[in-house]
Amino acid sequence: MRSRKIEEAIFRGIMIAATLVVLSCSILILATILIKGLPAMNLDMITKTPKGGYYLGKSGGILNAIVGSILLTGGATLVSIFLSLPVALYANVYADKSSKLIAFTRVSLDVLWGVPSIVYGAFGFTIMLFLGLKASLLGGIIAVALLIFPIMSRGMDEVMRMVPKELLNSSYALGATRFETALKVVVRQALPGILSAVLIAFGRGIGDAASVIFTAGFSDRINFSLFEPAATLPLAIFFQLGTPFPEVQERAYASALILTIIVFLISIGSRILIRRYSKHVIK
Amino acid sequence: MESTSHITVQNLNVYYGDNHALKDITINIPDKQITAIIGPSGCGKTTLLRAFNRLIDTVDGVRITGKVLVDGEDIFDPRADVTMVRKKMGLLSQRPYPLPMSIFDNVAYGPKIHGIRKKKVLEEIVEHHLKMASLWEEVRDRLHEPASRLSIGQQQRLCLARGLAVEPEFILADEPTSALDPKSSLYIENRFRELRSQFSIILVTHILRQARRLADYIVFLYLGELIEHGPVNEIFENPREERTREYIRGVIS
């Protein structure tokens, strides 16, 4: 009897310790960017583009990278949704449960999930050469879409697997086609999970530097054209950290803070959306 | 009998992989009556029911031979339009599965799919069929709330209304009261009594008393074989087959 209680206490201890490690890591990271970044934080950072000599410590901001990152990751997320939804719906509504193609697809996506982002950057670059594109917003969108596609599609796939088969049957029994069932029943039932898959993929995409370094390039101007280079926050952080000037390095931390706040805001926004759309979910 | 039968099954065999689930079933389902399919678990009751609206198609590795004629057309013919076959059948399953949408949209789902767009018409359809399922009074003020907020018994009546809204000819019910409390079960049974003049109802049940008090016609399956079928009194009072007698007496199950 006593040994079972000790066992319980040990496992409790391990779980608490693990939770504390994770929690303290995130607190430490947040504290670091807050302490180092706040002194350099000002309105100019988020309202101005880099002026001449910005990287030497002169005035300016990183609005170019904020706009660039949002456009690029937003675009990549959209592209990825249009790739991921059909894959997840095919695997869960159309294909046989025992389909070898689907099993193979799932394994491939899991492998792709683990491929380092620099490889997606290089692969995206190859595609760009093939299409005759130079470093541009479009190039970055392609590379980041490829990077986040496995994450998004597997996330959607997992939530759609949880949709009860009987729910699909009740739709079929009314004479609905598979397409109608997929769009009107499966997507609605899985919507909260689909939204969080999109959010996780967006968060992964907006923070990635390696996939955009060759493909999106960098620009000190705000650019809305798909075919011009676009600045991104991770690269802005990278360039500013790489300078020998402490005040510019501080701005790198301020940029990191901005990036974190963007992810945080989107996370809160999607949580509100998820709550709103989960009221119809059948348990 | 032949002329009034809307569903005719001819030499139907169903295999799940190596499992021969239904063995050479041939039967006429009588029109505008309640037919109860009875038999022990695993005897193929649900399989037979799901052959009628081809939901059986969605099972992996299923193989079907023989014919099921609905209104004279073989529904397993490759040229048959499966959505039209299913439109003729309202399904009520063991556990209610409302669709992930509002009460109103649940009932309007079928009619919308089959091309009704006008809001006014849809409103009438929804009200009419919720009344038929005797749910209207309870939900009239909260039609746009999620269906998931209803109780299980209400959900089952919602599923009935949803099935009726596509104006089927048949109601297929697969142990429709097995997840319900006694009061909700009684509700469903009473609805069936009212609906029997308009629809042919096929009811799968493992509750013999329910079959006896509700059904006009009994189909007894045992291990995938059709053992006996006939009017309810004949089967319960005077079964021809030994296995039917034993099942009804509770000797075999």
Distance (Å) from the C-alpha of residue B83 to the closest C-alpha of chain A?
A: 4
A163 pLDDT above the threshold of 90: yes
A52 pLDDT above the threshold of 90: no
Q: What is the pLDDT of residue A18?
A: 97
* Chain A residues inside the 8 Å CB shell of B84: 175
> Looking at the complex, does the CB of residue B93 fall below 8 Å from at least one CB of chain A?
yes
Q: What is the pLDDT of residue B57?
A: 87
- Rounded Cα–Cα distance for residues A168 and A233 (Å): 43
Number of Cβ within 10 Å of residue B166's Cβ equals 23
pLDDT, one tens digit per residue, over A226-260 is 999 999 999 999 999 998 988 889 899 999 999 99
The shortest CB-CB distance from A174 to any of B102, B147, B166 is to B166
Q: What is the pLDDT of residue A104?
A: 95
Distance (Å) from the C-alpha of residue B84 to the closest C-alpha of chain A?
A: 6
Looking at the structure, tell me whether residues A36 and A61 fall in a common domain.
no
Looking at the structure, tell me whether residues A115 and A201 fall in a common domain.
yes
SS3 assignment for A20-83 = HHHHHHHHHHHHHHHHHHHHHCCHHHHHCCCCCCHHHCCCCCCHHHHHHHHHHHHHHHHHHHHH
Looking at the structure, tell me whether residues A120 and A29 fall in a common domain.
no
- Rounded Cα–Cα distance for residues A2 and A19 (Å): 26
The enclosing domain of A142 has a CATH number of: 1.10.3720.10
Mutation to test the B interface, candidates A100, A280, A281, A283, most B Cβ within 10 Å: A280
Number of Cβ within 10 Å of residue B78's Cβ equals 5
**B49 to chain A: closest CA residue:** A173
Q: Is residue A141 part of a domain?
A: yes
Distance (Å) from the C-alpha of residue B1 to the closest C-alpha of chain A?
A: 28
Q: Is residue A261 part of a domain?
A: yes
Within 13 A of B31's CA, how many CA atoms are on the CB side? Answer: 10
Please, which residues 168-187 of chain B have a Cβ atom closer than 8 Å to chain A? 172
> Looking at the complex, does the CB of residue B152 fall below 8 Å from at least one CB of chain A?
no
Q: What is the pLDDT of residue B2?
A: 44
Looking at the structure, tell me whether residues A27 and A53 fall in a common domain.
no
The SS3 assignment for B2 reads: coil
The shortest CB-CB distance from B146 to any of A171, A177, A279 is to A279
The A-side interface with B (CB below 8 A) comprises: 96-98, 164-177, 180, 184-185, 188-189, 279-283
- Rounded Cα–Cα distance for residues A162 and A157 (Å): 9
A130 pLDDT above the threshold of 50: yes
The shortest CB-CB distance from B148 to any of A171, A177, A281 is to A281
Q: Which of A107, A71, A78, A88 is nearest to A193 (CA)?
A: A88
- Structural domain containing residue A82: 46-278
B220 pLDDT above the threshold of 60: yes
- Range scoring the smallest mean pLDDT among A205-219, B1-15, B188-202, B236-250: B1-15
* Chain B residues inside the 8 Å CB shell of A173: 53, 55, 86, 89-91, 163, 172
Q: What is the pLDDT of residue A80?
A: 97
Q: How far is CA A87 from CA A76, A93, A162, B31, in A?
A: 17, 10, 16, 44
- Range scoring the smallest mean pLDDT among A54-63, A163-172, B142-151, B241-250: A54-63
**A167 to chain B: closest CA residue:** B97
* Chain A residues inside the 8 Å CB shell of B172: 173
Looking at the structure, tell me whether residues A73 and A119 fall in a common domain.
yes
Q: Is residue A209 part of a domain?
A: yes
| Mean of pLDDT values over B37-63 | 90
| Mean of pLDDT values over B168-191 | 92
* Chain A residues inside the 8 Å CB shell of B161: none
- Rounded Cα–Cα distance for residues A204 and A156 (Å): 15
Q: How far is CA B14 from CA A159, A200, B117, in A?
A: 32, 45, 39
- Rounded Cα–Cα distance for residues A120 and B50 (Å): 48
* Chain B residues inside the 8 Å CB shell of A171: 99, 109
Distance (Å) from the C-alpha of residue B58 to the closest C-alpha of chain A?
A: 8
Q: Note whether A166 contacts B93, CB cutoff 8 Å.
A: yes
- Range scoring the smallest mean pLDDT among A25-29, A37-41, A186-190: A37-41
| Mean of pLDDT values over B55-78 | 90
Q: Which of B61, B54, B45 is nearest to B76 (CA)?
A: B54
Looking at the structure, tell me whether residues A13 and A97 fall in a common domain.
no
- Rounded Cα–Cα distance for residues B160 and B156 (Å): 6
Q: Is residue A248 part of a domain?
A: yes
pLDDT, one tens digit per residue, over B184-199 is 899 899 999 999 889 9
Looking at the structure, tell me whether residues A22 and A91 fall in a common domain.
no
Q: Is residue A189 part of a domain?
A: yes
Looking at the structure, tell me whether residues A263 and A228 fall in a common domain.
yes
Q: Is residue A229 part of a domain?
A: yes
The DSSP result for A123-155, as a single string, is HHHHHHHHHT--S-HHHHHHHHHHHHHHHHHHH
Mutation to test the A interface, candidates B106, B113, B114, B174, most A Cβ within 10 Å: B113
Give just the sign of the alpha carbon dihedral B133, B134, B137, B142: negative
The shortest CB-CB distance from A175 to any of B146, B159, B166 is to B166
The shortest CB-CB distance from B98 to any of A169, A177, A282 is to A282
Give just the sign of the alpha carbon dihedral A185, A188, A193, A198: positive
Looking at the structure, tell me whether residues A179 and A80 fall in a common domain.
yes
Number of domains in chain A: 2
Looking at the structure, tell me whether residues A77 and A213 fall in a common domain.
yes
Looking at the structure, tell me whether residues A25 and A131 fall in a common domain.
no
The SS3 assignment for B81 reads: coil
**A164 to chain B: closest CA residue:** B97
Q: What is the pLDDT of residue B5?
A: 58
The complex's ipTM? 0.90
- Rounded Cα–Cα distance for residues B208 and B245 (Å): 12
pLDDT band per the 50, 70, 90 thresholds, residue B3: very low
Looking at the structure, tell me whether residues A36 and A109 fall in a common domain.
no
**A188 to chain B: closest CA residue:** B100
Q: Note whether B91 contacts A165, CB cutoff 8 Å.
A: no
- Range scoring the smallest mean pLDDT among A53-67, A189-203, B54-68, B70-84: A53-67
Q: Is residue A283 part of a domain?
A: no
* Chain A residues inside the 8 Å CB shell of B104: none
Structure-block tokens of residue A144 = 């980041």
Q: Note whether B109 contacts A167, CB cutoff 8 Å.
A: no
| Mean of pLDDT values over B142-158 | 93
Distance (Å) from the C-alpha of residue B50 to the closest C-alpha of chain A?
A: 10
Q: Which one-letter amino acid corresponds to residue B68?
A: V
Q: Is residue A125 part of a domain?
A: yes
B154 phi, psi to nearest 5 deg = -65, -40
Distance (Å) from the C-alpha of residue A190 to the closest C-alpha of chain B?
A: 9
Q: What is the pLDDT of residue B253?
A: 63
